[in-house]
Amino acid sequence: MSDSSEKQIIFRAAPGGALSGRIRVPGDKSISHRSIMLGALAEGVTEVSGFLEGEDNLATLEAFRAMGVRIEGPADGQVTIHGVGMHGLRAPAKSLYLGNSGTSMRLLSGLMAAQGFDVEMGGDASLSTRPMKRVTDPLRLMGAVVETSEKGTPPLKVKGGQRLKGIDYPMPMASAQVKSCLLLAGLYAEGRTCVSEPAPTRDHTERMLTGFGYPVERSGGKVCVQGGGKLSAAPIDVPADISSATFFMVGAAIAAGSDIVLEHVGINPTRIGVINILRLMGAGLELLNEREVGGEPVADIRVRAGKLKGIRIPEDQVPLAIDEFPALFVAAACAEGETVLTGAEELRVKESDRIQVMADGLVALGIDARATPDGIVIQGGTLGSGRVDSHGDHRIAMSFAMAALRATGPITITDCANVDTSFPGFVDLARKAGLDLVAEADR
């Protein structure tokens, strides 16, 4: 949901076309967030390249500026962070405003719980409805004092000066944000903090902590840190975001004649569900020039149009593709046969209820799509023309823009202003690749 005071943007996508060429999508959002957080707490100067200049990451950057960290940039993805060390943050003059960024709020809650000062964190209308108990409950077990609204939603008030104790926490639900929050709090806690996850989630925090010289123990689904260490500045080259690359991967897979190369994409094993699922559906997808950059695996991804078939999506792939499902639902709509997703309840508490909003949008375009409590059932068919409400959810807006490549008529998508949160420049890059797309102010 967008605030009514914000500008309203409509996407208009004309039918047909194909995607081709070599493009580099913006930097990984998760890694960009963490580069600011760890760079700020490190000793020394951290140089970041490939930083995603979206609103969510800028919210994290501004929060650390408000706490006294000198940060130069961003300029063309370059950011210089003058670290203040583990105990150098200062009390902000006012409440930290985190916009639409759940990642900022959940990870910062872990860091703020360990500081010597009080802090309040708030956000926009959408963020103010997002569940925070999943981080506040375990933080309280560590000795943190955190208040939320009666519903367990933002704003969060964190009381400083608490002595945190390490805990051994089995997560009830797989969540990289909860895991990261507790590991960041654990850097300051007495003793060891261990988090066990029921299914693998993205491990960018653990990789980057190691890159900054902080020891992390990992065995099976358990991650531990010992409190009281320090971080040493290290350069970070942020890979292109696989979540952003996904829109072009799906677009190329569904549009006849497509052949596109997406450069320098992060292929962290905890994030490659979309690659595995598209391959299971029959997409022509290959990884080229595989390498490692700053502890993160990277490759160029070539995708060509293929004849997709409906599948039952393996539940072990769900946590590895949780942000990519809106685009994958479009692939399913263009596939032959039925696609069934189960075990994806978490999609209902993202920036929108992504299961219901995608089902509604696909039905509006003539596809048989039925939402279930923990997933969706989609019958492949012919995408028609229509008007879709993205409910202010950036990933839904971009997914339906790509759907036009296979549609019989134009698709209009409303409430698209939030695309800039994760993918600034999306419309220009999509046009360059071959999608007939325009963004205009809603009158």
Residues 233 and 260 occupy one common structural domain: no
Binning pLDDT at 50, 70 and 90, where does residue 443 land? Answer: low
CATH number of domain containing 245: 3.65.10.10
Summary mean pLDDT of the chain:
92
Query: Could you tell me which residue, 321 or 25, shows the higher pLDDT?
Result: 25
What is the per-residue pLDDT across 384-393, written as a single tens digit (0 to 9) for each? 999 999 998 8
- Residues above pLDDT 70, as percent of the chain: 97
- Is residue 52 domain-resident? yes
Q: Is residue 293 part of a domain?
A: yes
pLDDT for 6: 54
Measured in whole angstroms, the distance separating CA 427 from the mean position of its chain's CA atoms is: 19
Is pLDDT of 247 > 70? Answer: yes
Co-location of 304 and 247 in the same domain: yes
Q: Is residue 2 part of a domain?
A: no
384 with 405, same domain: the answer is yes
Catalytic residues: 323
d(CA 258, CA 434) in angstroms, rounded, equals: 9
pLDDT at 26 over 80: yes
- Do 220 and 342 lie in a common domain? no
* Residue 369 near residue 328, CB atoms below 8 Å: no
pLDDT-derived band at 324 (thresholds 50, 70, 90) equals very high
State phi, psi for 118 to the nearest 5 degrees.
-80, 150
Strand duo 368-372 + 375-379: pairing: antiparallel
pLDDT value for 349: 61
Which domain does 179 fall in, by range?
A: 29-237
Residues 433 and 327 in one domain: yes
Pairing state of beta strands 145-147 and 259-266?
A: unpaired
- Stretch 251-259: mean pLDDT, rounded? 97
What would the pLDDT profile of 51-99 be if each residue is shown by its tens digit? 999 888 999 999 999 999 999 999 989 999 999 999 999 999 999 999 8
Out of 210, 237, 264, a domain closes at: 237
Are residue 311 and residue 325 in the same domain, yes or no?
yes
Looking at the domain assignment, is residue 3 inside a domain?
A: no
pLDDT band for position 272 (50/70/90)? Answer: very high
Query: Are 226 and 265 in a shared domain?
Result: no
Residue identified by tokens 């996904």 is 246
Residues 306, 276 share a domain: yes
Q: 308 lies in a domain?
A: yes
pLDDT average, residue stretch 291-316: 92
pLDDT per residue over 364-416, tens digit each?
Answer: 999 999 999 889 999 999 999 999 999 988 999 999 999 999 999 999 999 99
Domain endpoint, select from 237, 259, 280: 237
Among 216, 237, 258, residue at a domain's last position: 237
pLDDT band at 3 (very low <50, low <70, confident <90, very high): very low
Does 113 map to a domain?
Answer: yes
pLDDT tens string 343-359: 887 766 666 688 899 99
The three-state DSSP-derived secondary structure of the chain is CCCCCCCCEEEEECCCCCCEEEECCCECHHHHHHHHHHHHHCECEEEEECCCCCHHHHHHHHHHHHCCCEEEEEECCEEEEECCCCCCCCCCCCCEECCCCHHHHHHHHHHHCCCCCCEEEECCCCHHHCCCHHHHHHHHHCCCEEECCCCCCCCEEEECCCCCECCEEECCCCCHHHHHHHHHHHCCCECEEEEECCCCCCCHHHHHHHHCCCCCEEECCEEEEECCCCCECCCEECCECHHHHHHHHHHHHHCCCCEEEEEEEECCCCCCHHHHHHHHCCCEEEEEEEEEECCEEEEEEEEECCCCECCECCHHHCCCCCCCHHHHHHHHHHCECEEEECCCHHHHHCCCCHHHHHHHHHHHCCCEEEEECCEEEEECCCCCCEEEECCCCHHHHHHHHHHHHHCCCCEEEECCCCHHHHCCCHHHHHHHHCCCEEEEECC
**pLDDT above 90 as % of the chain:** 79
- How do residues 101-131 score in pLDDT, each as one tens digit? 888 999 999 999 999 999 999 999 888 988 8
Residue 300, domain member (yes or no): yes
Has this prediction a pTM greater than 0.85? no
Question: Which candidate, 25, 23, 15, 18, places its Cα nearest to that of 305?
Answer: 18
Domain identity same for 193 and 250: no
Tell me: the pLDDT tens digits for 326-343? 999 999 999 999 999 998
Specify the pLDDT at position 199: 83
Q: Quick one: pLDDT at residue 55? A: 86
Burial class of residue 265 in the structure, from the number of CB atoms within 10 Å of its CB (0-12 exposed, 13-18 middle, 19+ buried): buried
Positive or negative CA dihedral for 365, 367, 370, 374? negative
How far is the C-alpha of 385 from the C-alpha of 62, rounded, in Å? Answer: 41
The structural domain count of the chain equals: 2
pLDDT tier for residue 270 given thresholds of 50, 70 and 90: confident
Same domain, 109 and 254: no
pLDDT of residue 4: 40
Question: What gap in Å lies between CA 1 and CA 390, rounded to an integer?
Answer: 9
pLDDT at 156 over 50: yes
Does 4 map to a domain? no
Same structural domain for residues 38 and 23? no
Tell whether 71 and 90 lie within a shared domain.
yes
The pLDDT of residue 2 is 41
